[in-house]
Amino acid sequence: MRILYGVQGTGNGHLTRALAMATAFESCPELKVDFLLSGRKRAKLFGVDALGDFSWRAGLSFATRGGRVSIRDTLSQNPWWRFWQDVHELDLSGYDLVVTDFEPVSAWAARRQGVRCIGLGRQYAFWQGHHALPVNPLQRAMIRQFAPCDEALGTHWSPLNSSTLPPLIAPVGELGSAQSKRYLVYLPFEPLADIDVLLQALPEYQFDVFHPEATPRVTANATYFAPSREGFRHAFSKAEGIIANAGFGTSSEALASGKKLLVKPLQGQFEQVANAHCLQHEGLAGVCQHLEPERVHRWIQSPSHARLQWPDVSQHVAKWIATGAKTPVAHLSQQLWQQSGLQRQTA
């Protein structure tokens, strides 16, 4: 079976899922998988060698300004004409199946050419209304039309419905002992200057900061890094807690590792706003709307945090696809949730 796997490159969570799936596909020799990435400039992609000789398209993404989504910039900066050209020119005649992680070129090409398409990723959890993920009908319609599919497999931290799976992340493994008062900061959509001001007001703690605009440097209480998968993994293992935007991937990795989590949702990005609402409502993380030292200090002093346990979802999904994706999704979902659990911890 030959598969085209489309990956939305805007957020690192999509890429992390693709890398986990690429590893899982290695145990399925009957599959030939080609990857297509879009939504981020090719020169800005990093740590994706495991995806092999992938294809790239400009795709579509959102633009941010001052820590929030800018509708005006999103509309003006996306290459709409090129996008439709890419959709019309992508030839799927050699593929049996398309899998899309919210990647619109592959999804719309599959719809045009009548190729079966499976949606796999966080955004597909929003396809059906649920009180745990509050988005309005217009926002839900936008999600459904951005990267349409025939079958939607969403991911969430707990069961939502019969088509929802646990988070698809790489197995956590042994991380070693975290260092007291050391925190990882990953706020790629916030102005770097605002992060500097925040950390300067918290001199009693140490921070490892990853940001697309950062150059390597060290201050009195912070070390700054450009984006790096290996560097991030190393800093993650040493951190007592994680301060991040409310993306699903980083939040899931923190929860799987039992690390304290504080999220700042990207304003105007309704998925992150819904993620933050859910994390706070379920008592899984702290939430802040602004980068305020007092709020961060209160979160650091709070004793409780959660650890969520999930199976290796990627292996199960790869085997499901390898058998033709014929078993009902509800069966796969039930099987995976039976292997999941939650632990409340205090420190």
Supply the pLDDT for residue 138: 86
How crowded is residue 80: how many other Cβ atoms within 10 Å of its Cβ?
10
- In this prediction the pTM is 0.91
Alpha-carbon gap, residue 244 to 227, rounded angstroms: 14
Domains of the chain: 2-168+311-346 (3.40.50.2000), 182-309 (3.40.50.2000)
How crowded is residue 162: how many other Cβ atoms within 10 Å of its Cβ?
13
Paired with 64 in beta bridges are: 69
Give the end-to-end CA distance of the chain in Å, rounded to a whole number: 49
Alpha-carbon gap, residue 27 to 322, rounded angstroms: 10
Beta strands, E only, 133-276: 151-155, 164-165, 182-186, 206-210, 217-218, 222-225, 241-245, 260-264
Nearest to 8, CA basis, from 73, 71, 56, 63:
56
Supply the pLDDT for residue 175: 65
Supply the pLDDT for residue 184: 98
Longest Cα pair distance anywhere in the chain, in angstroms? 59
Q: Residue 36 has which token pair?
A: 């297509």
212 conformational bin, left if phi > 0, alpha if psi -120 to 50, beta if neither: alpha
pLDDT, tens digit only, all 347 positions of the chain: 999 999 999 888 899 999 999 999 999 999 999 999 999 999 889 889 999 999 999 999 877 777 667 778 878 888 889 999 999 999 999 999 999 999 999 999 999 999 999 999 999 999 887 777 888 888 888 889 999 999 999 999 999 999 999 999 987 766 678 899 999 999 998 999 999 999 999 999 999 999 999 999 999 999 999 999 999 999 999 999 999 999 999 999 999 999 999 999 998 888 999 999 999 999 999 999 999 999 999 999 998 778 999 999 999 999 999 999 999 999 999 999 999 987 666 55
Nearest to 310, CA basis, from 153, 160, 158, 174:
158
**Half-sphere exposure in the Cβ direction for 29 (13 Å, CA):** 0
Q: Residue 182 has which token pair?
A: 């050391």
Supply the pLDDT for residue 345: 61
